[in-house]
Structure 1
Amino acid sequence: MLRSGVGKPFRRVTNLTWRSIMITSRTRAFFLAIGILGALTAVCWMVGCNGSSSTNNSGGTVTTSLSDPPVCQNSSGPIGPFTQVWVTVTKVTAHINSNAGPSDSGWVTLLDLSSSPKQIDLFSPVSTTCVLTELGSTSGLPPGDYQQIRLYLLDNTSSSGPSPNNCGTGNGFNCVVNSSGTIELQLSSEAQTGLKIPSGQIAGGKFTITAGQATDLNINFDACSSIVAEGNGQFRLKPVLHAGEVSLNNNTIGGTVVDGTGAGISGATVLLEQPAGVTGITDMVDQVQYATTTDSSGNFFFCPVQGTPGTTTYDVVIAAQAGGATYNPDIVFKVPVGTALGNLAMVSEGAGSSGGTLAGQITSKDATALAADVTLSPLVAATPAGGSEILVTIPWLSTNTTQAAAQPQNFMTQATANVVTPAVACPTGTDCYNYQIVLPASAAQVGTFSGGSANLPPPPASPTLTITYSLLAATSSCTTATPSPAVVNSLVVTPGTTTPVSTALAFTGCT
């Protein structure tokens, strides 16, 4: 599973992402080059010189490293859980033309490992650092605005590759490892022409190499969306990639989740969210961008995070259930990239508390019953200091789906209703799923980052043991929802109780 910094395995978003490739451009011996050119100029003035000279020092040096971004959502792996995902990199190239084809001229090789391909475990654990391993360097690269990047992987049928091959015999050079063993990861034909990152998936539409300056580029795999189950026990790589210039040192958000005594809370879920509009809903809705869980000491660390340090902000949302207690959610608005938040205190709902449960039904059909994959987002209204109300996505504590864990969670409708108590059948002519989502059942602590502080209020002596949720449903499989938008409001949750969602979330026009 992908890991984010010191946290546990997590699964995104987007909403979760795989590892990243970090590209760093450095100028080598810049001032030495100036000195040499000055000396040559003096010699030419004395002896007379005609024509001009050039030097590779006018270009940049790109160092390609593997980093560990929090790009996926919480818990188990994509269609997994996977313990390892091995890919073998042979080359990274870039082009100034966003429309250039793989065989067109003008491609610049940022990294060439053709003679010694590098095999990388994308789920390898790391500590609080962006860089996992350095892959290699290339010097003398031409300055320019590059609007397309391609990443090449070694063909599984290649006659030679890395030694030792971590995929073993008969599994190619790209593979996944799960409870069934090692399975070859099938590659699309695109892997041979380079996995393309177009300008629309590069932050700002381009990345710039400037002579004499450093450039850091993050190439980001969304692992949650990049591994597809083939239905025959096989898995295919269908990469979703993004890129953007980042700083190895500053594109981070971290902190420590603690209880009322200051002790770290292990296994807390931490989300980074950003607001976006949702059709039919007046308030902005905070959408999950990154997710992870805290380590045994309560620490979390996101790195690298897309955006400009000190300018781009995320809302940090935390929920926890540990040591026989459930805690209130914490919401910290407007945390800039590059922030170390320090301790973030949570309030226990009481010893033995188990949160509260939302329970209801999703249905789907076309002309007849048809399955659909539906995402359910539990939302709580909160207001940042000096701002307008936002619907914030709260992490669930547990769910009753057998699908891979994600924040927010997906539920797949099916022809026969899943078993719940009391039993609920699918309406005639539909597929359905009876969901149960366990959530924090006490009021959120809300702060807005400013002056270097999260500005959470002092923990109360006892929490407010009630919280009101909205439940938002979304699917790309269907065209029509009832109600529309597919949201149910005013769902009051209290500890140890189940709140029935009496309004079924019904989808039609499904494909």
Structure 2
Amino acid sequence: MKEGRLRSRASLALLVAASIWLMVLTGCGSGTQNSTSSMTGTVTTSISDPPTCAAQYSNVWVTITKVVAHISSDAGSNDSGWVTLVDLTSNPKQIDLLSLASTTCVLTQLGSTTGLPPGKYQQIRLILLANDATGATPSPNACGSGGFNCVVPNGGSPQTLNLSSEAKTGLKIPPGQIAGGGIDLMAGQSADINIDFDACRSILRQGNGRYRLKPTLHAGEVALNQNTLSGRVVDSTTTNPIPGAVVSLEQVVNNVDRVQMSALTASDGTFFFCPLPPGNYDVVVTGMTGTTTYNATVTLQVPVGTALGDIGLIPEGTGTTTPGTINGMVTSTTAANLATSTDVTLFALQQATAPGGSAVTVTIPLFAGSTAFPLATDGVAVCPAATAATDCANYALLVPGSNPRAGTFNSAGTSYSTPSGNAAYSIEADATKSDGTADCSSPTVTITTDNATPANPLAVGPGGTVTAATITFTGCI
């Protein structure tokens, strides 16, 4: 695996200034400003990428034609009031989201647009070139004859990345996925904006083997040369670095710590995130080597700009240890109880309690070998006879077989709780569309038990296996 792909995942850095910006991007970037008007702003758009799926894919190519914004969160694609942040329709730009160098925050600049009216922009849309486009197209085209957006599996050839209809009207980032609910641009002032495009959680491999884009996007104001967070993941016993550990930066959304950005540690155990919206993050780390599986470690309330130093992970046992496995099934039906396909993303949740603190529900990063998400329910999977009138999908989650240890960040030294096993889990299934609208009557389903009769709490130990209760979506479109 190339170290240049170990640091983080795809993000679009949108640099918004109150006047014309000239950006020279080195490392995390810097900029200078010459004022031409105190009433409007200029947007400079760049893109950066730190993936966690480089073991699966060698390239993820997307072709961008435009980035637009609106002050209304409810504005439709045909409504008036949209402002163009960057226009590449005459010269679309094709970008590999997995090509970021390990010490760089941005991949490339997309362009600049002047005259942006001040206001609170509550919706941003990224527009991609259709795979069947016949007008202006990128040259050369890394996707060959398979359109203009594609994935390249490791050791394979380019496979078309199919786009949903919304990709043509713009991949929507609603207020709930923008830090602070929107981007405030005031007359005579500047704002730097980062759009994080989680490429690894945006690729859906369907039952027929084809790939489809279901984008996961977040945005927020950043300072490119200051908003970083770094550290090193080590074995707490030997202090040896742990390469390939998954590090997630999480913040509370609807009472659960949700992943905002993820990275894999490099060969020396280090990780580095930039640029980041300001605020505090909960840092959740899981690690596994060829012979050792580690407890999840959670460091709560870490401010942006922190160099964490070493984060020690505790082995789950002596000798060779392996992760726990949670198996299960997802089913989906229409309101008329007919089979229908839906896109679903699963999250493994646990309670983390720091010494002297209260429990926080955190998202546990999954180990390599887990089912890739999002997944699509379909008629290809073998569904039980009792669910013949449904579409379904099977999954397997590889997770730590113990409860996480947790500590609240202290610059003088963080104290952590002692991890305990048998790990208690809940599984959250999300069938929300990428634009934030519901695909089923209840777009989120959470289970906390296994499929036994009577049911038991959903728990698994190191090397153990448990089958979870079936996740059922109804009223799906």
- Cα distance, 1:255 vs structure 2: 1.0
CA distance in 1, matches of 2:356, 2:320: 34
1:395-406 → structure 2 map (5 Å cutoff): 395-397=365-367, 403-404=371-372
> Bigger CA drift: 363-372 or 187-196?
363-372
User: Do structure 1's residue 355 and structure 2's residue 322 form an aligned pair?
Assistant: yes
- Cα distance, 1:296 vs structure 2: 0.4
In structure 2, the partner of 1:487 is: 449
**Residues 286 and 104 of structure 1: is their aligned pair in 2 closer, same or farther, counting only changes over 3 Å?**
closer
> Bigger CA drift: 178-187 or 225-234?
225-234
SS of aligned partner of 1:487: coil
In structure 1, the partner of 2:469 is: 505
> Bigger CA drift: 117-126 or 434-443?
434-443
User: Do structure 1's residue 298 and structure 2's residue 269 form an aligned pair?
Assistant: yes
Q: With the length of structure 2 as denominator, give the TM-score of the two structures.
A: 0.74
User: Do structure 1's residue 161 and structure 2's residue 153 form an aligned pair?
Assistant: no
In structure 1, the partner of 2:295 is: 328
CA distance in 2, matches of 1:29, 1:370: 49
Higher relative contact order (CA 8 A, sep 6+): 1
Aligned partner (choices 243, 246, 252) of residue 266 of structure 1 = 243
CA distance in 2, matches of 1:292, 1:85: 16
In structure 2, the partner of 1:248 is: 224
Q: Which structure: larger Rg?
A: 1
Instruction: Say whether the 8 Å CA contact 2:5–2:100 is kept in structure 1.
Output: no
CA distance in 2, matches of 1:32, 1:410: 47
In structure 1, the partner of 2:25 is: none
CA distance in 1, matches of 2:288, 2:364: 13
In structure 1, the partner of 2:96 is: 121
User: Do structure 1's residue 469 and structure 2's residue 450 form an aligned pair?
Assistant: no
- Cα distance, 1:416 vs structure 2: 4.8
SS of aligned partner of 1:244: strand
SS of aligned partner of 1:316: strand
- Cα distance, 1:238 vs structure 2: 4.5
Encode CA deviations 1:55-111: one digit per residue, 9 max, x unaligned.
Answer: 5465333221112266xxx5468xxx4322222223323334445555555443322
Residue type at the aligned position of 2:274: C
**Residues 410 and 212 of structure 1: is their aligned pair in 2 closer, same or farther, counting only changes over 3 Å?**
same
**Residues 136 and 445 of structure 1: is their aligned pair in 2 closer, same or farther, counting only changes over 3 Å?**
same
Instruction: Say whether the 8 Å CA contact 1:324–1:351 is kept in structure 2.
Output: no
User: Do structure 1's residue 217 and structure 2's residue 215 form an aligned pair?
Assistant: no
In structure 1, the partner of 2:358 is: 388
**Residues 236 and 436 of structure 1: is their aligned pair in 2 closer, same or farther, counting only changes over 3 Å?**
closer
**Residues 371 and 385 of structure 1: is their aligned pair in 2 closer, same or farther, counting only changes over 3 Å?**
same
Instruction: Say whether the 8 Å CA contact 1:473–1:505 is kept in structure 2.
Output: no
In structure 1, the partner of 2:47 is: 66
1:372-451 → structure 2 map (5 Å cutoff): 379-397=349-367, 403-404=371-372, 416=382, 439-441=399-401, 444-451=404-411
CA distance in 2, matches of 1:194, 1:373: 19
> Structure 2 regions of 5+ residues with no counterpart?
23-31, 432-439, 451-455
**Residues 189 and 476 of structure 1: is their aligned pair in 2 closer, same or farther, counting only changes over 3 Å?**
closer
In structure 1, the partner of 2:453 is: none
How many residue pairs match? The answer is: 443
**Residues 65 and 363 of structure 1: is their aligned pair in 2 closer, same or farther, counting only changes over 3 Å?**
closer
In structure 2, the partner of 1:460 is: none
In structure 1, the partner of 2:313 is: 346
CA distance in 2, matches of 1:302, 1:329: 19
Residue type at the aligned position of 1:353: T
**Residues 249 and 95 of structure 1: is their aligned pair in 2 closer, same or farther, counting only changes over 3 Å?**
same
Residue type at the aligned position of 1:202: I
In structure 2, the partner of 1:8 is: 6
**Residues 96 and 412 of structure 1: is their aligned pair in 2 closer, same or farther, counting only changes over 3 Å?**
closer
**Residues 252 and 397 of structure 1: is their aligned pair in 2 closer, same or farther, counting only changes over 3 Å?**
same
**Residues 448 and 201 of structure 1: is their aligned pair in 2 closer, same or farther, counting only changes over 3 Å?**
closer
Residue type at the aligned position of 1:384: A
**Residues 318 and 186 of structure 1: is their aligned pair in 2 closer, same or farther, counting only changes over 3 Å?**
closer
Residue type at the aligned position of 1:475: A
SS of aligned partner of 1:270: strand
Aligned partner (choices 174, 182, 192) of residue 158 of structure 2 = 182
Q: With the length of structure 1 as denominator, give the TM-score of the two structures.
A: 0.69
User: Do structure 1's residue 19 and structure 2's residue 17 form an aligned pair?
Assistant: no
Q: Could you tell me the percent identity over the aligned residues?
A: 46
SS of aligned partner of 1:137: strand
CA distance in 1, matches of 2:270, 2:162: 36
In structure 2, the partner of 1:280 is: none
Instruction: Say whether the 8 Å CA contact 1:273–1:287 is kept in structure 2.
Output: yes
CA distance in 2, matches of 1:365, 1:105: 37
Encode CA deviations 1:338-368: one digit per residue, 9 max, x unaligned.
Answer: 3221111223356632135356665858779
Aligned partner (choices 337, 356, 366) of residue 304 of structure 2 = 337
Instruction: Say whether the 8 Å CA contact 2:7–2:264 is kept in structure 1.
Output: yes
- Cα distance, 1:298 vs structure 2: 0.3
Residue type at the aligned position of 1:8: L
Residue type at the aligned position of 1:498: G
Residue type at the aligned position of 2:239: G
1:277-288 → structure 2 map (5 Å cutoff): 285-288=256-259
Instruction: Say whether the 8 Å CA contact 1:83–1:177 is kept in structure 2.
Output: yes
Residue type at the aligned position of 1:23: L
| Cα RMSD for the two superposed structures | 4.5
**Residues 370 and 265 of structure 1: is their aligned pair in 2 closer, same or farther, counting only changes over 3 Å?**
same
In structure 2, the partner of 1:91 is: 66
**Residues 354 and 376 of structure 1: is their aligned pair in 2 closer, same or farther, counting only changes over 3 Å?**
farther
Instruction: Say whether the 8 Å CA contact 1:67–1:133 is kept in structure 2.
Output: yes
CA distance in 2, matches of 1:429, 1:91: 44
SS of aligned partner of 1:204: helix
SS of aligned partner of 2:120: strand
Instruction: Say whether the 8 Å CA contact 2:204–2:376 is kept in structure 1.
Output: no
Residue type at the aligned position of 2:360: I
Aligned partner (choices 91, 112, 121) of residue 87 of structure 2 = 112
CA distance in 1, matches of 2:280, 2:4: 21
**Residues 356 and 186 of structure 1: is their aligned pair in 2 closer, same or farther, counting only changes over 3 Å?**
closer
In structure 2, the partner of 1:45 is: none
